[in-house]
Structure 1
Amino acid sequence: MRIKYTVSVIFIVALVIIEKENNIISKVSDKLTLKLTPLTPVLLPSASMFTFQEHNVSVSIFSQMDMLPYEHVKPHLKNFNQFSRESVSPTSTSGGCKHILLLATTRTGSSFVGEFFNQQGSNMFYLFEPLWHVERMLTVETGGTNASVAGPAYRDVLRQLFLCDFSLLERFIEPPPQHHVTASLFRRESSLSLCEDPVCTPFVKKVFERYHCRTRRCGPLNLTLASQSCAQKQHRAIKSVRVRQLETLRPLAEDPRLDMKFIQLVRDPRAVLASRMVAFSSKYKNWKRWAMDGDVPVEDDEVRKLRGNCDNIRMSAEIGLKQPAWLQGRYLLVRYEDIARFPMRKAAEMYEFTGIPFTAKVEKWILKNTQASKEVSGVYSTQKNSSEQVEKWRFSIPFKLVQLVEKVCGPTMTLFGYKFAANEEMLTDKSISLIEEKTFL
């Protein structure tokens, strides 16, 4: 009788879990299914179709231009001749356009490194964390970010953005854009491409834009103009800290319309923790308590989260470093510590990897922003005295937390060449480097 009761309970719990999973997938599917409305932008002159097949859910994303009569489409084609050549069919090539995705996690210096591409000049269209909107929407609607659902959603939004199509991203922006105009794009000011002509429209005094352009006064962001500007740029780069597994992006590498280059930025997990405890203070109360009272748990949700993050980073790097056929010549691993110590050299190496000219404008920006004074070197600033940042964390985090990170993230540290601190004296001894000189091929 007890066995029957147990089986019944397990069966009911399984049904509840399946139903919850289906609800999450259904909500994401609604976002990924583009419906033809008067507000749907005419963006891609190609018959592109993508299928969201995880968990047996099929979602087709069609270019709306394929559904409209030619007389309605013709006026929109004048600015897209170059883009048309690049993506007119699934069998065409990228036409020399490079598509760069900078992958990282929070507090690894990704904003700083992203500027290497943002500052490239008129040939580069750069986007800063567009997946922020996707993550936020999934978290609000489902009560948490489900990795098995978020991964494909991130991938499909990235693909469309690399093809200069903002229509899919629009479905995740809150409040929804009106006539493809939004005052709510996350960190718009971090993309020079979104704050220059012709994307910078006349300033609207009565409209509040939280992430407004800082170098000049612009009106709310017109996503159709952004799409046109993107299509006219020679190269496109996106920075994101939200993709958990490199493997989920394989379809981008295999898409013949894209010439994908993946740059994975990593940093010593001990330094990452120390930085997050400062930048996200309210979210790291448990860690601060452990640092104060001396009671460090062996297992805890926060510890498991740390282990999961380290494992994801390591597994992605292991795939990239093995250079499977779909990643041949498309993957580069870079340590933040190497960039901080040798910014010009590492920037040149990244540009050589992407096949894009390393411009004098980027060199000038690097020189200016790697020798910043303490007055401008804030928590979120991209201006740092970079060489001083490398192992600064060693003097701001208790040794017991360092030991915990080393225990949880040991394999990841070993792969990336970060040395373990044998004791507290070694941790705070400036004459001993905790960074192994290592080359990643």
Structure 2
Amino acid sequence: MKMRSKYAIILFFVVALVIIEKERNIISRVSDKFTLKFPHVESVAPNNTISARSLMKNNSLFTNSVAAIWKLLKAQRNYTSLQGAASSDGMKGLKGRKHLLLMATTRTGSSFVGEFFNQNNDIFYLFEPLWHVEKTVTFEPGGMNAVASSIIYRDVVQQLMLCDLYTLESFLFPMADRHLTGILFRRGSSKSLCEGEVCTLPKKGGSERFPCRRSNCGLLNLTLATQACLQKQHVAIKTVRLRQLEFLRPLLEDFRINLKIIQLVRDPRAVLASRMVAFPSKYNAWKKWANEGRVPDEEEVGKIRGNCENLRATAQLGISQPPWLKDRFLLMRYEDIALEPVKRAQEMYHFSGIPMTPEVKKWIYENTQVSKGSNNIYSTHKNSSEQFEKWRLALPFKIARVVQQVCEPAMKLFGYKLVNDAVTLANRSASLLENRNFWIT
């Protein structure tokens, strides 16, 4: 019963966010779309999900409960955040604190670029914290999917920017025990969660060890992580799960958050080539076309078109610099970063208003000049100037041509040249980049 109550609270929490958005006409439709993927709960569907509709049949109960539950959740977060900040120097970083959001899509080099900020000891860096939200909360296919998920993701990011790491507990399964968890996704990719007091010693003889890059830590204590975040000067988050810039406006207008947004893009032909290697099952139709000549159906092509259009729309909004976004948005191409990593890192740091440290420069020098034998597709250790165009030798021209057809508006905006034949595609001496300066002063 206690577990069911927790799930009901999460459901009400999400819908309450919609109410706060003043999207009252969305509520009934969102309730049909929203599901929670938690096992071992009564009345679950065959896929281990609970429908929001089944929990909101009693409309009056729902209406009367939302406000109270929202206040309770807010009070709980304020209380735990204050606990985390209780130490004498716990609020050290608030004055002059900068917040940075690195927005990208999968296989665009975001893990590599994220390290530019992860290596700065003054920054509390989180790697893909929305992974748990995506795995816990899902939406049935439909037009409301993008709206509802964007609202949830945005509000989780808002709390994390304020160092409220407890907000992740609502999306962890198994649930955290006394704010302790051993399942945080890719914890080892965030230095801030693997150093100092946050890296507690594992229990002797126990199996509760969490591998970080330089040491084995015990279970992650979210209270200690919250305190560590408050003690850092700045906060940065890297995510591939936020796609629509317009939904982030409340964060940019939140006086507590001094937010800058960097959108990272990459040639969509390169992205597809990389995804075909990294996620073969998801891109099986394209691999079959390359190997067997089976043309993907319109749905597969439509996914590529939709991804490119989302990127184009977000970038166009950012470049247009509406008042609420003025001097808060920067578009960066992965290819430019790969060619001149130090220069581009300096530009991003200048834009964010955060000093670039010697440790960052050292990491860049050491991790962009790797031997040719390094083939790990997930590695951030690469000879960046040689690696970023290897896809041109592997992607069949017939696939590249389809990507060009459906992504042409985005490619023109980002400055990626189209090719007319396989010879030009494979000729790496012919640049596919137009000279563009997306830096906004």
Q: In the alignment, is residue 79 of structure 1 matched against residue 75 of structure 2?
A: no
Q: Distance in 1 between matches of 2:78 and 2:425?
A: 61
Give matches, 1:151-230, under 5 Å. Answer: 151-204=150-203, 205-208=205-208, 212-230=211-229
- 2: CA distance between counterparts of 1:217 and 1:388? 34
The separation in 1 between residues aligned to 2:399 and 2:291, in whole angstroms, is: 11
SS at structure 2 position matched to 1:380: coil
Deviating above 2 A after TM superposition, structure 1's stretches of 4 or more consecutive aligned residues are 17-21, 23-28, 57-61, 63-68, 73-78, 80-86, 141-146, 204-209, 292-297, 374-377
**2: distance between equivalents of 1:418 and 1:75?**
50
* Residue of structure 2 aligned with 1:341, choices 339, 342, 365: 339
Contact 2:92–2:232 (Cα < 8 Å) also in 1: no
Amino acid at match of 2:91: F
Instruction: Note if contact 1:377-1:385 (Cα within 8 Å) is conserved in structure 2.
Output: no
Alpha-carbon shift at residue 83 of structure 1 (Å): 3.0
* In structure 1, C-alpha distance between the alignment counterparts of 2:196 and 2:176, rounded to whole Å: 20
Match of residue 402 from structure 2:
404
Shift of 1:82: 5.2
Contact 1:269 1:405 in 2 (8 A): yes
Q: Look up the SS of the partner of 1:83 in the other structure.
A: coil
Shift of 1:390: 2.2
Aligned to 1:113: 113
1:64 alignment counterpart = 76
Q: Identity, % of aligned pairs?
A: 54
SS at match of 1:251: helix
Report SS of the residue matched to 1:127. strand
Is there any run of 5+ residues in structure 2 with no aligned partner, and where? 1-25, 38-65
- Tell whether 2:328 aligns with 1:330: yes
Whole-angstrom CA distance in 2 between matches of 1:163 and 1:18: 27
In structure 2, the CA distance between the partners of 1:159 and 1:76, relative to structure 1 (3 Å rule), is closer
| Deviation digits for residues 211-267 of structure 1 (CA, Å, limit 9, x no counterpart) | 621311210100110000000000000000000101111111000000001000000
Work out the CA distance in 1 between the residues paired with 2:97 and 2:85: 19
1:98 aligns with 2:107: no
1:382 corresponding residue in structure 2? 380
In terms of mean alpha carbon deviation, does 166-175 or 320-329 score higher? 166-175
- Write out aligned runs for 1:11-90 (5 A): 21-25=30-34, 59=70, 61-64=73-76, 77-79=85-87, 83=91, 86=94
CA offsets 1:261-288 (integer angstroms, 9 cap, x no match): 1000000000000000001112111001
> Could you tell me how far 1:103 is from its partner in structure 2?
0.3
TM-score norm. by structure 1 comes to 0.81
Report the more deviating stretch, 108-117 or 383-392.
Answer: 383-392
For 1:278-337, what per-residue CA distance to the aligned partner results, in whole angstroms no more than 9, with x for missing partners? Answer: 01112111001111233434x522211111111111100001000111111110100000
- Which of 398, 417, 431 is residue 419 of structure 1 equivalent to? 417
Q: Distance in 2 between matches of 1:410 and 1:124?
A: 37
Cα-Cα RMSD: 2.5
Closer/same/farther in 2, CA of residues 166 and 142 from structure 1, 3 Å limit: farther
* Structure 2: distance between partners of 1:174 and 1:302: 32
Q: Distance in 1 between matches of 2:83 and 2:29?
A: 45
Aligned residue type for 2:332: V
Deviation at 1:77, TM superposition (A): 5.0
Question: Which amino acid counterpart does residue 347 of structure 1 have in structure 2?
Answer: A
Q: Sort the Cα spacing of 1:75 and 1:267 in 2 relative to 1 into closer, same or farther, 3 A.
A: closer
Taking structure 1 as reference, are residues 85 and 193 closer, same or farther at Cα in structure 2, changes over 3 Å only?
closer
CA spacing shift, 1:432–1:206, aligned 2, 3 Å? same
Q: Describe the SS at the equivalent of 2:196.
A: coil
CA separation in 2, counterparts of 1:66 and 1:154?
19
| One-letter amino acid of the counterpart of residue 114, structure 2 | G
- Is residue 331 of structure 2 the alignment partner of residue 319 of structure 1? no
Counterpart mapping for 1:285-304 below 5 A? 285-297=284-296, 299-304=297-302
Counterparts of 1:262 and 1:158 in 2: how far apart (Å)? 12
One-letter identity of the residue aligned with 1:114: G
CA contact (8 A) 1:377 1:383 kept: no
